[in-house]
Every structure is written in structure tokens, then in C-alpha cells.
Amino acid sequence: MTTPAHVAIIMDGNGRWAKARGLPRVAGHRAGVEALRQTVRAAGEMGIEWLTVYAFSSENWSRPKSEVSDLMGLLKLFIRRDLAELHKHGVRVRVIGERDGLEPDIRALLEEAEELTRANRSLNLVIAFNYGSRDEIARAARKAALAVKAGKIDPDSISADTFGEFLDTTGIPDPDLIIRTSGELRLSNFLLWQAAYAELVFLPCYWPDFGRTDLAEALRSFASRERRFGGVAARDVAL
Ligand code: IPE
Ligand code: IPE
Ligand code: MG
């Protein structure tokens, strides 16, 4: 079975999970963190090299203040509580998204996680935090423009192959498989550039209910797909 090198997950449905139980939304987010812990473990064991998780989007600021503050608090708690454990298991943490404008203590924690785990070589865990693809692409265009202005690059050198160097995901392979939980069928501004040829799997379960068997099911679905990248399947070439 072909295992995708890079799996990216839109962890959606925490609020509805909580609502279905008569609980406040924050209870869903807490349960979501537990599902994340288990997924990181399972992904490593299943031989996935890169796992990207959408934790907070650039549009999630539009939620009520108290929910935003709950989500910020949970990220801090996750890094404070789990960083040592992730490091012990050889997980390398990277963070994509806009850092400017984040609270200084959150920025410091994100930087600490990246620094501490820089040399680790088992699973690569990429956390998309304050991330939005359009924002990422616009910032990349600005970086490229500044590099041209400074005389560091020639405008003609900017192409579909080289532009990725300006994105937050530079050095990270494109996702092979994108999973979204909660039944929604959209990308919500996630990895729009990088998802060009990703296989998509949408699962009905809410994120806090996502577990090892759901990940295995998504991997099975991935293995049954035929990826053509715009070409012709090998067996049809001579026809
Ligand atoms: C995903 O769950 C978590 C974040 C977006 C941070 P939601 O909070 O979006 O849950 P639903 O979609 O309202 O059920
Ligand atoms: C996407 O989920 C963002 C994260 C999972 C962090 P949303 O719940 O924010 O997306 P929409 O609003 O349903 O498109
Ligand atoms: Mg949602």
C-alpha cells in the first residue's frame, strides 16, 4: 500500500461535537487537542513523514473574543505540556502562518518549539497557526518583490517552480493527502497553492472523534487513487 509522505488535516467540527453533547464549544476544542495528540502518535507509527494540521485560520479571529482566547490558551497549553514528549519521540515541529500580531508569549513558545526540535528526524509536525493561504501567497509576493527591489533576484527567475521558496512552506513537500473532518466539503483557505495535486478525503466524523481507524481509512482511500498529475496513466501510454 502506498503511504502518503505528507498528510495535511483540517481539524474541523469541535464546536458541533460539543453542541451535540450540550457542552460549551471550548470543551470541543479541549477534546480536539486530545485527538491531535493521538493522531500525531498514529501518524508516526504509520510511517507518515510529514503531518500538517490546521489549528487556527487567519479568519478564525472573527469568532467571539472568548473563543479566540480559549483557542490561544489551548495552543499555549499544548506546547507547554507536549513539547518535551514530542521532542523525546524525535518529532520536529514547524509552524506556518503569520507571526506578526500574535501575542509575544505565543510567538516565543512557537519559536521555542521549532528551535528545540530543529535536529529531530522522525515525524515532521507542521502546525498551521494564524494561517490563511491568501495571506501566505500575498506575503510571498511581497517577499519576492522586495528581493527584486534589492537586486537579489531577477524578475524572470520567478516561476511556478521557484515561487514556493517564498511561501511559509518552503522546504516542505506538497501534501499528498488532505483530510477534512466534520462533513464540510471545502478547503477554507488551507494550502491552496500546495494542494494543486493533493488527493482529498472528506470524513463525516467531528474532529474530537477522529482516531487511528479514521486515519487508516483515509490512507486506504489514498492508496486506491490513481494520481496522474496531468499526464496519462502508465498502463495507457501505449494505447
Ligand atoms: C475546528 O472546529 C477548530 C477550529 C476552527 C479552531 P470548529 O470550532 O470550527 O467546529 P465547528 O465547525 O464549529 O463544529
Ligand atoms: C477551518 O475550519 C479552520 C480550522 C480547522 C482551523 P473553519 O471551521 O474555520 O472553516 P469554515 O468557517 O467552516 O469554512
Ligand atoms: Mg468549523
What distance, in Å, lies between the first and last C-alpha atoms of the chain?
Answer: 27
Domain boundaries in the chain? 6-132+174-223
Write out pLDDT tens, residues 85-131. Answer: 999 999 999 999 999 999 999 999 999 999 999 999 999 999 999 99
| Ligand 2 lined by 71 (C-beta under 6 Å) | no
Query: Quick check: 236 pLDDT over 90?
Result: no
12 catalytically annotated: yes
SS3 189: coil
User: Above 70 in pLDDT, residue 201?
Assistant: yes
CA 27 to chain centre: 22
Largest CA distance in the chain: 61
CA of 165 to the centre of ligand 3 (A): 30
Task: Identify the residue whose C-alpha is closest to ligand 2 atom 11.
Answer: 188
Whether the model pTM is above 0.85: yes
189 noted as active-site residue: no
| Alpha carbons 229 and 216: distance in angstroms, whole number | 24
Q: Are 157 and 166 in contact (CB under 8 A)?
A: no
Residue-wise pLDDT for 155-172, tens only, equals 999 999 999 999 999 999
The total number of residues shown for the chain amounts to: 239
Give the H/E segment covering residue 200: strand 199-202
Per cent of the chain over pLDDT 70 is 100
Pick 1 or 97 by higher pLDDT.
97
Distance CA 92, CA 125 (A): 6
pLDDT confidence of residue 132: 98
Question: Which CATH number, 3.40.50.720, 3.40.1180.10, 3.30.420.40, 3.30.1440.10, labels domain 6-132+174-223?
Answer: 3.40.1180.10
Instruction: For residue 60, give the ligand 2 atom closest to its CA.
Output: 9
Mean pLDDT of the residues in the chain: 97
Query: What distance in angstroms lies between residue 68's CA and the mean position of ligand 3's atoms?
Result: 13
Where does the pLDDT of residue 235 fall: very low under 50, low under 70, confident under 90, or very high at 90 and above? confident
> How far apart are the CA of 169 and the centre of ligand 3, in A?
23
- Ligand 3 (ion): residues with CB under 5 Å are 12
Cβ atoms of 187 and 10 closer than 8 Å: yes
**What b/e sequence results for 196-210 when a residue is b if at least 16 CB atoms lie within 10 Å of its CB, and e otherwise?**
eebbbbbbebbbbbb
Separation of alpha carbons 141 and 104, rounded Å: 26
Q: Is the model's pLDDT at 238 over the cut of 80? A: no
Best probe residue, ligand 2, of 36, 53, 60 (max atoms within 8 Å of C-beta): 60
